[in-house]
Structure 1
Amino acid sequence: MKHILLFTSIIFLVSCGEKLIEQPENLIARDEMVLILKDMAIVNAAKTTNIGILKDNGIDPTTYVLNKYNVDSTRFVDSDRYYASVPLAYESIYKEVESLLDEEKERLKDLKKINDSLKLLQREEKDLLKAGGVQKPTNTKNVPQ
């Protein structure tokens, strides 16, 4: 029984090390693949929330992203299939995509906070002007008297 288990384990390990798919001649570089997948995730998220806007402007999200990177769909599919055949590489690609999306999310949150703060200041300034007739201060630095 031990021999059968050992034999099965060896066969399994050898088969896991086999290349299931040969690397395509026109493989998209890993770093570029990460960027393409990140952009596809963003555009597909937009597609689920603003499909009408995309349709009105004649934009196909997948085609848009592939054109941005000057990659045709066949090359993308071949590269994606190849990376998927190497599970550890594919997992690391998607972890990097997730990390980039998280960074983008934080950057947009920060921009929204800044934008909200500016709008609040403008509203307060407008309210002050209406309430008391207070004029906006002018910059008097470096103005000859």
Structure 2
Amino acid sequence: MKKALFLLVVLSWGCGQSAVEKPDNLIDEATMVDILYDLSVLEAMKTRDAKLSDNSSAGYVYKKYNIDSVQFAHSNQYYAAEIEKYRKIYEKVDARLQAEKTTADSLAKKEGRTTPTPPGDPGQIK
């Protein structure tokens, strides 16, 4: 019983505490969406072009937004601790990626090209 009570007190105290302090140079949510979108596109491009597979390519994104990897990491860590904010950020990133995919698929269809199916896509298995 004492263990259960102790665990309840610790969990209650822990839930009330912010796990990560807000960084002084926190990247605002809208910019974070833009950065994560660009990094996602960059990752997708890396699967197509081996020349982009080095780690320095993310530096181009950091330079574009006038940040460094430390500022990005601290901001990302902060938002990850604020799960609702983080979820909303990633929902916006996903919506942009889906819109871009829809546009690309539409253009490919107009030009009579087929869109590539990602490896491991369930639609490939027959």
Q: Which TM-score applies when normalising by structure 2? A: 0.74
Are 1:40 and 1:61, in contact at CA under 8 Å, matched by a contact in 2? no
> Which structure 2 segments of 5+ residues have no match?
114-126
**Partner in structure 2 of residue 48 of structure 1:** 47
Q: Distance in 2 between matches of 1:7 and 1:59?
A: 45
Alignment correspondent of 2:73: 77
Pairing of 1:32-47 with structure 2 (within 5 A): 32-47=31-46
Secondary structure at 1:71's aligned position in 2? Answer: coil
> Are the counterparts in 2 of residues 38 and 97 from structure 1 also a CA contact under 8 Å?
yes
Query: Where do residues 109-124 of structure 1 align in structure 2 (5 Å cutoff)?
Result: 109-116=105-112
Superposition pairs for residues 102-141 of structure 1, below 5 Å? 102-116=98-112
Q: Which string of whole-angstrom CA distances, capped at 9 and with x for unpartnered residues, describes residues 46-72 of structure 1?
A: 1122023x37xx993201111122211
Q: Where in structure 1 are there 5+ consecutive unaligned residues?
A: 118-145
- Deviation track 1:74-105 (CA, whole Å, cap 9, x = no partner) reads 21111111111222222222222112111111
Amino acid at match of 1:41: S
CA distance in 1, matches of 2:55, 2:5: 56
- Name the Cα RMSD after superposition: 2.5
For the residue of structure 1 that corresponds to 2:27, the secondary structure is: coil
Partner of 2:59: 63
Give the 3 Å change call, closer, same or farther, for CA 6–59 of structure 1 in structure 2: closer
Q: Which amino acid aligns with 1:102?
A: Q
- Name the structure 1 match of 2:91: 95
Identity level (%): 35
Count of residues paired in the alignment: 113
Pairs within 5 Å for 1:15-26: 15-26=14-25
Deviation, 1:11, is 3.6
CA distance in 2, matches of 1:83, 1:116: 42
For residues 9-64 of structure 1, give each alpha carbon's deviation from its aligned partner in whole angstroms, at most 9, with x where no partner exists. 35423312211111011100011101101110110111122023x37xx9932011
